Structures are given as structure tokens and as C-alpha cells.
Amino acid sequence: MALDTLKDKTNVIPKTMAACRFYGPRDIRYEKVDIPEIKDEELLVKVKVAISGGSSLKTYLRGHPVLVNKELPSPFGHQFSGEVVKAGDKVKGFQAGNKIVAVNSSPCLKCTYCLSKKVSLCENIYFLNGAFADYICIPKEIVENNTYLLSNDLTFEAAAELESLAVVLHGLERSHITEGQIVCILGTGSIGLLFTALSKELGAEVIVIGRSDFKLNLAQEMGADHVLKISENEEKLIRDVKNITNNIGPEVVIEAVGKKETWELATKLVKKGGLVNFFGGCKKGEKVELDTYRLHYDELRLIGVFHHTPEYVRKALKLLEKNISLQEKITSKLITHRYPLSRLIEAFAMQQKGNCIQAAIYPEN
């Protein structure tokens, strides 16, 4: 009898849960809400850890076109890992008790872009928000295309970084970095730091340019060969990069900031014939000035790379599972702080101060 009661208890899902919901810029409320009811093709997942990174902070400060819903208050938080507590009757491949990680979107796999294998340009991409909560419902599209079982080699914290890692792998492959090349990375947020670690693994020599000593130190710990501080004196910065690169410039420059000034700087730093990857998205409507001489006579190659695809998510998961040193870098250098869910706002405050790359957010219930 006692055992039965215990067994029943483990299967009981409460009716309400704690969640941090987005009411508008700088207005996040920790409150009690109903636990979502799942449909036949969906999963109900107990969030074990969620991540607050640069995009969550930006969303908190300014709102976001896709990382919160149009209708407010909106569920909030998009990077997480957890444990399935209930699987809909028609779900295949997952059941209660499975440890899983799901990324925050799924392409439709039916539109003209998906069918031509340009999946990150999908016209009907579906986004999921709501990881800053005790539980999250994973919809059919993401259950089918972008939810994965965790192997025992992975902690919930390392797994929750899957989305960041997948976007960086996408950016790296499209930059065609090869052994011995010099790569310059603008930006020292989580994405810039992951680009640093993975470019090193490809055998590149890496220069990182950033604003904060704390973050440039982390870049060195992630493997950067050279770190340079961005300053008012752009000419000097360009000269310093030239000095490191035998006076020719890096073969690849990756902009991982998302600002007009750094987009323009990237095109000034790169070697003739080199590639600039505009990886950091600027605010909508932003314009940049580019030197046509450099584009034409120096044959620069400029590309934009956005988001991830299920293919890169699967590659990122494989990489994460086998690469213990990368897991350690993620949980000790990228995740610099840990907070309970009720103190999410403190995590944002710490991120704003600049001494926090990412915070791991733990539900308390």
C-alpha cells in the first residue's frame, strides 16, 4: 500500500506551476500559472535547467520578434533541457522518464526553402517559448523534428546549450574555416566564445576582439591566440590586427555582435578575397556603409548566416556528447552564474553589468 502511494505520487502532475512571464520590456513577473494541457502529439517536460544568455537579456530589455509571443503576457525562455513527465498518446520515441533536450524551433520541412535544403530560411518556422518555468509543453513540430534523448554522458546544463552550439556550427561550416587559417572573431558573448573554442578545434589561429577585460580573459581560456580590446581608435585596432597577420588581414572575420559599427569594422579587417560572416543580427532597418573598392577590387565575400537547422542540431549534440573538454568549457566558462527561477531578474542585472556570460536558471519546484 505504501509503495503504491509512493508510485502514484511520482506520476502526479500538479495543476499549477511557477513561471517567469514577459509582460513587456523590463517587466518580467514570477507567478503561478496553469500547467499546459498536452495534446496527443505533444510532450510535457519538467524543466531541469534553462539558460539565460545574450538573446534572453536583449528580449528582457527590448522585447523580441520571435523569442516572446505577440500576445502578452508571453511565456519566456528558449534554451533548456529536462525530463518528460507525460507523452501524448500519438508520440513516438519518447516516454515519461526520458531525459531530453529540445531546441526552440522547427522548420516546416514543406516550403520552397525547406525543400531546397535552405532550412534556416523556412517560411513557416515555428518557435517555442516558455523555458523559464517549472514545466514546458513541447509541440508536435518540435517533438518530431528537434527533440533528442540525452545520453548519460551529458549533464542537463551542458545539454541546455545545444541551441547555441548548433547555431555556431552552422556559422562555422558556412565560413569554410580550415586548418592554419587566421580567423578573427568580433564579440565575446556566448556565441563569440563558442566560435573561439570551435575555430581552435578546426586548427585555426584565432584573434578575438571585444570590449571587456573579463570577457577577453574568458576568450583566452576558450583558446584565443590573440585578444584585442576595441577602442575609439579604429585605425590602431586595424593596424594591430594587420601586425598579427603579416600585414594582410585574417582570412575569415566573424561578426558576432550585431551592431552597425562592428559590421563595418569586419569588412575593414578581412584579407583580400577573404570572407566576412555577418552572424550577429542588427536591429530591424539598420543600414551599414561599405567601401565598394574593398568589395569589388579586393573581392570580399560577404555572407549572412542565421539560426540553425535540425541537421546542425544533431551534429551539435554528437559533438557535445563526445567532447568532454567542450562540455567543461561550457559549464565553467560560458555558464558563469546560477540562479533559482524566482531570481531571474537578478540574472539579467548581472548580465547587464557585463560580468556574466550566461546564467543557468533552476526551477525550484
Q: What residue ranges bind Zn ion (CB under 5 A)?
A: 107-108, 111, 114, 122
Provide, rounded to whole angstroms, the least separation between the CB of residue 107 and Zn ion: 5
Q: How far is the CB of 66 from Zn ion (least distance, A)?
A: 15
Joined together, the cell numbers standing for residue 92 give 513516438
In the bound state with Zn ion, the residue whose beta carbon lies nearer, of 111 and 288, is 111
C-alpha cell at 281: 543580427
Q: Is 237 helix (H, G, I), strand (E, B) or coil?
A: helix
Beta strands in the chain (DSSP E): 16-24, 27-34, 43-52, 74-75, 79-87, 99-102, 105-106, 126-127, 135-138, 147-149, 182-186, 205-210, 226-229, 252-255, 275-278, 301-304, 335-340, 358-362
Which strands, in side-by-side order, build the sheet including 74-75?
27-34, 16-24, 74-75
337: cell is: 552564474
Closer residue to Zn ion in complex, CB, 146/190: 146
d(CA 319, CA 98): 21
For the bound state, the minimum distance from the C-beta of residue 111 to Zn ion, rounded and expressed in Å, comes to 3
> How many CB atoms neighbour CB 362 within 10 A?
17
Our CB check for Zn ion shows the closer of 30 and 126 to be: 126
How near is the Cβ of 139 to Zn ion at its closest, in Å? 16
Question: Based on CB atoms, which residue is closest to Zn ion, 113 or 362?
Answer: 113
Taking the least distance from each CB to Zn ion, the nearer of 19 and 114 is 114
Q: How far is the CB of 68 from Zn ion (least distance, A)?
A: 22
DSSP state at residue 133: B
Sheet holding 275-278, edge to edge: 226-229, 205-210, 182-186, 252-255, 275-278, 301-304
CA torsion, ordered 34, 95, 76, 287, to nearest 10 deg: -150
Q: Per 3-state DSSP, what percentage of the chain is helix, strand, and coil (rounded to 5)? A: 35, 25, 40
| C-beta of 143 vs 334, nearer to Zn ion | 143
Which H helix or E strand runs over 157?
helix 156-159
Question: What's the grid cell of residue 144?
Answer: 518530431
At its nearest, how many Å lie between Zn ion and the CB of residue 71? 23
Nearer to Zn ion, 114 or 227 (CB): 114
Nearest distance from residue 122's CB to Zn ion, in Å?
3
CB of 29 to Zn ion, least distance (A): 34
